[in-house]
DNA sequence: GCGACAG
DNA sequence: ATCTTGTCGC
């Protein structure tokens, strides 16, 4: 029997999306496997101020083997916080460039599980398809949840780009060789750009449109700023409560 | 072989 | 990510 092509986006995310590799080689192999589930032909939720947008971020205390994740959901129009959740646990994987998802995604999934209602879009602090194997953090989280995701990073990783014009909204392509894998997008005039890439079920134009709507004042998207603050608070609270996972 | 290297 | 004082500017 010949295998029938697997219809992406259909049905619940397979269990291997939550698999915990023990070695770098296993992690790389898992990324190459999960990559086939990534949906890149949807434009994504419209960036018109409707619906909800969540920001996710993670903070660490490696000495205590603690990771804290936060998800903060905002109304896409008013940017008011409508829900939030956190999760704390042991650090599942060391930091290895290109394998960040295995360090961050497990705790983020537990935080998302605690929400009553899922958001229409998730903004990640890191990359989507701008990744050595085209499967960065935002792609991994998207495939694992089925939700539309985008990546907004603060540094260009290994990719090349020209400096965008000085005005807010100016952008230039972020390239891996000749391929455009994302964009350097200026979210504040005269301020260092952020690096936007598509994750799961969202295209690059729509991703950038969302990022501009989510940055009325600061360089980083409001949902991510809020999540950054919340995960740091959650980590501090866990440490204060004596939570730790020593060897 | 030696750097560079999202968070 | 995290360690960390002061300093410049709106």
pLDDT for A71-126, tens place per residue? Answer: 999 999 999 999 999 999 999 999 999 999 999 999 999 999 999 999 999 999 99
Q: Given pLDDT bands bounded at 50, 70 and 90, which one contains residue A246?
A: low
A236: CB within 7 A of chain C nucleic strand: no
Q: What is residue A19's predicted lDDT score, i.e. its pLDDT?
A: 79
Subset of residues 107-126 in chain A with CB less than 7 angstroms from any atom in strand C? 125
A229: CB within 7 A of chain C nucleic strand: no
The SS3 of residue A198 is strand
Q: Is residue A30 part of a domain?
A: no
Q: Is residue A20 part of a domain?
A: no
Question: The CATH number of the domain where A100 resides is what?
Answer: 3.30.2170.10
A57: CB within 7 A of chain B nucleic strand: yes
Q: Is residue A191 part of a domain?
A: yes
Q: What is residue A149's predicted lDDT score, i.e. its pLDDT?
A: 98
DSSP state of A49: S
* Residue A125 labeled ligand binder: yes
User: Which positions on strand C lie below 7 Å from a protein C-beta?
Assistant: 1-2
CA to C1' distance (Å), from A181 to C5: 39
A55: CB within 7 A of chain B nucleic strand: no
CA A136 from chain centre, in angstroms, equals: 8
Tell me which H or E stretch contains A202: none
Per-residue pLDDT tens for A76-87?
999 999 999 999
Tell me which H or E stretch contains A179: strand A179-185
Rounded-to-integer distance, Cα A132 and Cα A134, Å: 6
Q: What is residue A121's predicted lDDT score, i.e. its pLDDT?
A: 98
Q: How far from A60 is each of A55, A75, A110, A213, A220, CA to CA, in Å?
A: 17, 28, 16, 29, 20
Q: What is residue A20's predicted lDDT score, i.e. its pLDDT?
A: 86
Q: Is residue A102 part of a domain?
A: yes
Residues 6+ apart with CB under 8 A from A240: none
Give the mean model confidence (pLDDT) for residues A235-241: 93
Tokens 């018109």, located at residue:
A48
Q: Is residue A201 part of a domain?
A: yes
Per-residue pLDDT tens for A160-190?
999 999 999 999 999 999 999 999 999 999 8
Gyration radius from chain A CA atoms: 17
A235: CB within 7 A of chain C nucleic strand: yes
Pairing mode of beta strands A52-61, A121-124: parallel
Q: Is residue A107 part of a domain?
A: yes
For residue A169, what are the domain limits?
45-240
Rounded-to-integer distance, Cα A154 and Cα A1, Å: 47
Q: Is residue A116 part of a domain?
A: yes
Q: How many domains does chain A divide into? A: 1
DSSP state of A87: E
Give the mean model confidence (pLDDT) for residues A55-59: 98
Label residues A154-182 b or e (16+ Cβ within 10 Å = b).
Answer: eeebebebeebeeebeebbbbbbeeebbb
Hey, what are A186's tokens?
Answer: 């200026």
Rounded-to-integer distance, Cα A212 and Cα A228, Å: 19
Q: What is residue A244's predicted lDDT score, i.e. its pLDDT?
A: 73
Q: Is residue A108 part of a domain?
A: yes
């Amino acid at each position: 029997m010949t295998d029938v092509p697997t219809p992406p986006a259909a049905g619940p995310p397979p269990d291997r999306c939550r698999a915990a590799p023990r070695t770098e080689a296993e992690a790389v192999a898992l990324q190459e496997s999960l990559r086939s589930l990534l949906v890149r032909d949807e434009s994504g939720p419209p960036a018109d101020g409707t619906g909800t947008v969540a920001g996710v971020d993670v903070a660490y205390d490696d000495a205590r083997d603690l990771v804290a994740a936060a998800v903060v959901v905002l109304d896409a129009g008013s940017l008011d916080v409508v829900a939030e959740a956190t999760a704390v646990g042991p650090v599942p994987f060391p930091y290895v460039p290109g394998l960040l998802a295995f360090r961050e995604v497990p705790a983020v999934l537990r935080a998302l599980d605690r929400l009553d209602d899922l958001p229409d879009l998730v903004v990640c602090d890191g990359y989507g398809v701008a990744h050595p194997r085209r499967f960065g953090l935002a792609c991994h989280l998207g495939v694992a949840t089925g939700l539309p995701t985008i990546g907004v990073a603060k540094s260009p990783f290994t990719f090349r780009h020209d400096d965008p014009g000085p005005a807010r909204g100016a952008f230039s392509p972020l390239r891996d060789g000749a391929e455009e894998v994302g964009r350097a997008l200026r979210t504040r005039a005269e301020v260092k750009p952020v690096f936007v890439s598509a994750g799961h079920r969202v295209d690059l134009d729509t991703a950038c449109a969302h990022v501009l709507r989510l940055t009325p004042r600061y360089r980083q998207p409001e949902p991510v700023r809020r999540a950054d603050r919340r995960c740091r608070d959650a980590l501090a609270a866990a440490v204060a409560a004596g939570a730790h996972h020593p060897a």
